[in-house]
């Protein structure tokens, strides 16, 4: 029996990396009975007679998991955000950050398409980036798109970590990956062509070695699941609100109409980003009006 990590799943096969080698395995039949699906990123115990034939015996406890892409044990999510084309929205950015926070994944913000905006608009993004850095988020923003300084910063962030790269369609996720790891382009294109052969049912998920870490190869990942948290919990996923909430007069303060609210005091004093608070209110209303989902698929 050996221990390893699932690096790729494809058509019911799981490629497990262990001691520098890759082993092709299947999940044992009792996984299906127990309704357990192994995920890329899972740490597992397995046995194999040859590198091409083996069985996964047990999935070790997960730190976290995502449904889109279906991966587990992710350390961080790089949110690729275009400053223009598609039009920039703090609301979308904040929703992506919250989705990661809810999953227990550290967000990193990477701004693209900075060549499409004037200097004055770029200054506004400098201020925005400073606001997010103050919250504690790492932000990559350079005047020239994909400038060496920004790429080097990101490469250092990827080292020794497992990362998902997410962002709206057209934000430049694939271009960013190609800049960080040029040797990937050919490989990913060739593999997907060879696998698909006109069938669109192939669901391949893999973790690829990039810049000394592992990156989930999910170029199509642009959305995030609808949040299914209770609206009263939302403030916990805004790190700057969470840090202040112990100073609120009421426990369980949702920072809207309550007196003695430390978050609203900080906002009035100009210590919080107005856009973050506005997006918080929008999301709060959305969550309040959301009908409970009783038959949510696990």
Q: What does the angle CA 256 – CA 281 – CA 91 come to, to the nearest 5 degrees?
A: 155
Residue 138 counted as an annotated binding residue = no
Residue 172 counted as an annotated binding residue = yes
Residue 174 counted as an annotated binding residue = yes
Residue 253 counted as an annotated binding residue = yes
Residue 218 counted as an annotated binding residue = no
Residue 45 counted as an annotated binding residue = no
Residue 200 counted as an annotated binding residue = no
Residue 155 counted as an annotated binding residue = no
Residue 140 counted as an annotated binding residue = no
Residue 226 counted as an annotated binding residue = no
Phi then psi dihedrals of residue 17, to 5 deg: -95, 125
Residue 99 counted as an annotated binding residue = no
Residue 296 counted as an annotated binding residue = no
Residue 261 counted as an annotated binding residue = yes
Residue 163 counted as an annotated binding residue = no
Cross-strand bridge partners of residue 111: 81
Residues contributing to the annotated binding site for Zn(2+)? 248, 253, 255, 261
Residues contributing to the annotated binding site for GTP? 112-115, 167-175
Residues contributing to the annotated binding site? 112-115, 167-175, 248, 253, 255, 261
């Amino acid at each position: 029996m050996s221990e390893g990590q699932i690096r790729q799943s494809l058509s019911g096969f799981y490629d497990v990396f262990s001691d520098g080698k890759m082993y092709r395995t299947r999940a044992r039949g009792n996984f299906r009975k127990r309704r357990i699906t192994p995920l890329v990123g899972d740490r597992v115990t397995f046995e194999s007679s040859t590198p091409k034939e083996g069985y996964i015996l047990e999935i070790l406890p997960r730190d976290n998991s995502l449904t889109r892409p279906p991966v587990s044990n992710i350390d961080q999510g790089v949110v690729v955000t275009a400053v223009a084309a598609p039009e920039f929205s703090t609301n979308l950015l904040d929703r992506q950050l919250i989705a990661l926070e809810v999953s227990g994944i550290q967000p990193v913000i990477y701004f693209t398409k900075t060549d499409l905006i004037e200097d004055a608009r770029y200054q506004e993004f400098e201020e925005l980036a400073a606001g997010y850095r103050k919250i504690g988020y790492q932000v990559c923003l350079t005047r020239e798109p994909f400038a060496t300084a920004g790429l080097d910063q990101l490469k250092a962030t990827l080292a020794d970590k497992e990362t998902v790269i997410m962002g709206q369609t057209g934000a430049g996720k694939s271009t960013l990956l190609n800049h960080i790891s040029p040797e990937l382009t050919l490989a990913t294109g060739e593999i997907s062509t060879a696998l698909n052969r006109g069938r669109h049912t192939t669901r391949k998920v893999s973790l690829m070695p990039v810049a000394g870490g592992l990156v989930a190869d999910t170029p199509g990942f642009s959305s995030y699941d609808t949040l299914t948290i209770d609206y009263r919990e939302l403030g916990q996923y805004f790190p700057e609100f969470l840090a202040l909430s112990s100073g609120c007069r009421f426990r369980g303060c949702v920072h809207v109409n309550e007196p003695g609210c430390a978050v609203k005091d900080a906002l009035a004093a100009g210590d919080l980003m107005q856009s973050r608070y506005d997006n918080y209110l929008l999301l709060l209303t959305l969550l309040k009006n959301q009908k409970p989902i009783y038959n949510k698929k696990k």
